[in-house]
Amino acid sequence: MNDPRIRRIVIVGGGTAGWLAAALLAQALGPQVQIQLVESAEIGTVGVGEATIPQIRHINRFLGIDEDAMLRFAHGTYKLGVQLNDFTRLGDSYLHAFGDLGLPLGLTPFHHYWLRAVQERGHADTPDLWAYSLNAAAAAENRFAPLEKIPDSPLGGLRYAYHFDASRYAQYLRERIAPGSVQRTEGKVVDARLREGDGFIESLQLDSGELVEGDFFIDCSGFRGLLIEGALNTGYENWQQWLPCDRALAVGSAPGGPMRPYTQASARTAGWQWRIPLRHRTGNGHVYCSRFISDDEAAAQLLANLETEALGDPRPLRFVTGMRKLAWNRNCLALGLAAGFMEPLESTSIHLVQSGVSRLLAMFPDRRCDSALVDEYNRQTRFEYEHVRDFLILHYKATERTDTPFWQQCGAMEVPPSLARRVELFRRTAMVFREGDELFAETGWVQVLLGQRIAPQRHHPLADALTDAQLDGFLADIRTLIGRAKNTLPPHHKFVARAGGSLAA
């Protein structure tokens, strides 16, 4: 009988997705599986300055990566959250900070206590919610250093991620992979051969004429989905009705200005603009909807909103938000942009690659690719994507802006029922429940819901169990502990200089 085990995996595409997948698979599978990665230097990767979320630190631990060395190599800085500007009203600004908000008491999440204080005493007399987030307090003063927990208290410390140059990160991963465990082949795929009968991919034909055979194929070829779509015609589900932006222009700008330990996302007339601080430059990009603004106008807005001079011309990108109908089809798994695209408003791209690989490892098949595994993978992937999608839609939908046709349309659009239910629950009761293993936890949802001015009618009834004096004491204690802890943190740029060694202080 033939050995049913998978012995050869072929990865197509060498961007962040491809190399991240290669590194994780090589580490997890060891020498029993041979991994081959096909990439072409001719095909550019999308890597611009990239922001991440804290889950990326799990990858680094798993791969045994030295954080300082990696960040030095990838020009990285630290990230405590995302600042969202002008989304709900022009002039608005709030932070979606990672990490805890205050401290829950018993069954009741913290924000209900804060909300009770606001509702009983008014906004003017109550510090805002972010006074209870150490991440927010540190971000406001551009401070950073790792802190596990606030000493002598029940409060958690800073939760952080990175900003870095994603193509340098990919290169770093590539160089760290154990020698021999991933074979890199330079070339362009010109054809995929399918097996008679079940339509599994059998081999790939490269432009050099070389034939690459494999048991399992991972499509990291980007938007076009060379295998998953080009060969297998899997189909794509379009989400533009909810997330209408379809183009981006990206450009680096010269270093200068404060080194913020957070990403900035600022709403524009027909989309939004990111700013990501790296060590050697700042990454910028304008994500917009081509139905509402021309490319020239979009470029002009982008360039007008740089803090320092542009380094070169903006590079255009086109995309369609949505997801592949099946991320795993037959013996082909799509990762990264080949699996779907959601704009980087909450920096989820790299995480979706990471979680796709973990899911694959959990469901690692043999050569038959049992449909029970494939179905389970696709079910979990859909769950993850749809919940991230809903979270992004919230940023657009919960707006009061009527100053441009784009924002008018966003405010008026009908949203998925899953999201409508959540917003309604929050509006009426301030309650948020994380669903299953969805990516963003309650604290993320609460900050964005409140930041986008969805005002709950009331707080949780159990928050009434404290007396007024107890409530004041509880809130004041948390603010004090956070204020003290924040003051012990050094400026972000100094910490980077110390840890990184490459930046003149």
Partner 1 sequence: MTDPRIRNIVIVGGGTAGWMAAAAFAKVLDAGCSIRLVESEEIGTVGVGEGTVPHLKLFNNLLGIDDVEFVRNTQGTFKLGVQFNDWGRLGDSYVHGFGTIGHDVGLLPFHQYWIKARQAGKADEIGAYSLNTVAAPRGRFMPSASDAPPGSPLANVAYAYHFDAGRYARFLRGYAEQRGVRRTEGKVAQTVLRAADGFVEAIVLESGERIEGELFIDCSGFRGLLIEQALHTGYLDFSHWLPCDRALAVACEKVGPPTPYTRSSARPAGWQWRIPLQHRTGNGYVYSSAHVSDDEAATTLLGHLDGAPMGEPRLLRFTTGVRRQAWSRNVVALGLAGGFLEPLESTSIYMIQSGITRLLNLFPRHDFSPVLTERYNAQSRFEYEHIRDFLILHYHATERDDTPFWNQCRMMSIPPPLADNIRLFRDSGRFFRDGEEMFATPSWVQVMLGQRIAPKGYHPLVDQMPDAELAGFMASVSHVVASCVEVMPAHQAFIDRCCTAPAMVA
Footprint on this chain of partner 1 (rule: CB under 8 A)? 4-6, 28-30, 32, 106-107, 358, 361-366, 370, 372-373, 375-376, 380, 421, 424-425, 428-429, 431, 433, 435-437, 458, 460-462, 464-465
278 is in an annotated binding site: no
Q: Is 299 in contact with 256 (CB distance < 8 Å)?
A: no
DSSP labels, 100-169 = --S--BTTB-HHHHHHHHHHHH-GGGS--GGGG-HHHHHHHTTB----SB-TTSS-B----EEEEEHHHH
The annotation status of 17 as a binding-site residue, yes or no, is: yes
The DSSP bridge partners found for residue 9 are: 35, 216
Q: In terms of CB distance, is 340 or 365 closer to partner 1?
A: 365
> Least distance from C-beta 354 to partner 1, angstroms?
13
Pairing of strands 271-277, 263-268: antiparallel
Task: Please report, in angstroms and rounded to a whole number, the separation of the first and last CA atoms in the chain.
Answer: 65
- Positions of E strands within 245-290: 247-253, 263-268, 271-277, 282-288
Q: Which is nearer to partner 1, 116 or 279 (CB)?
A: 116
Residue 251 pairs in a beta bridge with: 284
Instruction: Give the 3-state secondary structure of residue 379.
Output: helix
Sign of the four-CA dihedral 190, 196, 197, 203: negative
Distance of CA 170 to the CA centre of its chain: 16
Task: Using the minimum distance from each CB to partner 1, give the nearer residue, 3 or 148.
Answer: 3
227: three-class secondary structure by DSSP: helix
Q: Give CA 243 to chain center in angstroms.
A: 16
Judged by beta carbon, residue 3 or residue 125, the one nearer partner 1 is 3
Are 251 and 310 contacting, i.e. CB atoms less than 8 angstroms apart? yes
Give the integer Cα–Cα distance in Å for 248 and 62: 33
Q: Which residues of 95-104 are buried (b: 16+ CB within 10 A; e: fewer)?
A: bbbbbbbbbe
Confirm whether residue 189 is marked as ligand binding.
Answer: yes
Burial of residue 64 (number of CB atoms within 10 Å: 0-12, 13-18, 19+)? exposed
Least spacing, CB of residue 472 vs partner 1, in Å:
16
What is the chain's alpha carbon radius of gyration, rounded to the nearest angstrom?
A: 24
16 is in an annotated binding site: yes
Find the shortest distance in angstroms from Cβ 2 to partner 1. 14
Give the nearer residue to partner 1 in terms of CB position, either 179 or 417. 417
Task: Give me the least distance between CB of 182 and partner 1, in Å please.
Answer: 16
Has 346 been labeled as part of a binding site?
A: yes
Q: Provide, rounded to whole angstroms, the least separation between the CB of residue 196 and partner 1.
A: 24
Q: Is 33 annotated as a binding residue?
A: no
Alpha carbon 446 to its chain's center: 18
Match 């193509």 to its residue by tokens: 167
Residue 379 CB burial class (10 angstroms; 0-12, 13-18, ≥19): exposed
The answer to the question of whether 424 is labelled as a binding residue is no
**221 alpha-carbon distance from chain centroid:** 19
DSSP state of 177: S
486 in catalytic set: no
In the complex, least distance from residue 437 CB atom to partner 1, rounded to whole angstroms: 7
Residue 441 DSSP SS3 = coil
269 marked as binding residue: no
Residue 79 is labelled as binding a ligand: yes
Q: Which is nearer to partner 1, 71 or 463 (CB)?
A: 463
Q: Using CA atoms, how far apart are residues 426 and 428, in angstroms rounded to an integer? A: 5
Question: Which of 79, 149, 188, 494 does the annotation list as catalytic?
Answer: 79
Q: How near is the Cβ of 497 to partner 1 at its closest, in Å?
A: 36
CB of 358 to partner 1, least distance (A): 7
**What does the angle CA 137 – CA 166 – CA 301 come to, to the nearest 5 degrees?**
70
Q: Which is nearer to partner 1, 6 or 245 (CB)?
A: 6
Residue 73 or 216: the one with the smaller Cβ distance to partner 1 is 216
Q: Which two tokens stand for residue 365?
A: 């098949």
Q: Give the residue numbers marked as catalytic.
A: 79
Q: Which residues are annotated binding-site positions for FAD?
A: 14-17, 189, 337, 350
Q: Which residues are annotated binding-site positions for 7-chloro-L-tryptophan?
A: 79
Q: Which residues are annotated binding-site positions for L-tryptophan?
A: 346
Q: Which residues are annotated binding-site positions?
A: 14-17, 79, 189, 337, 346, 350
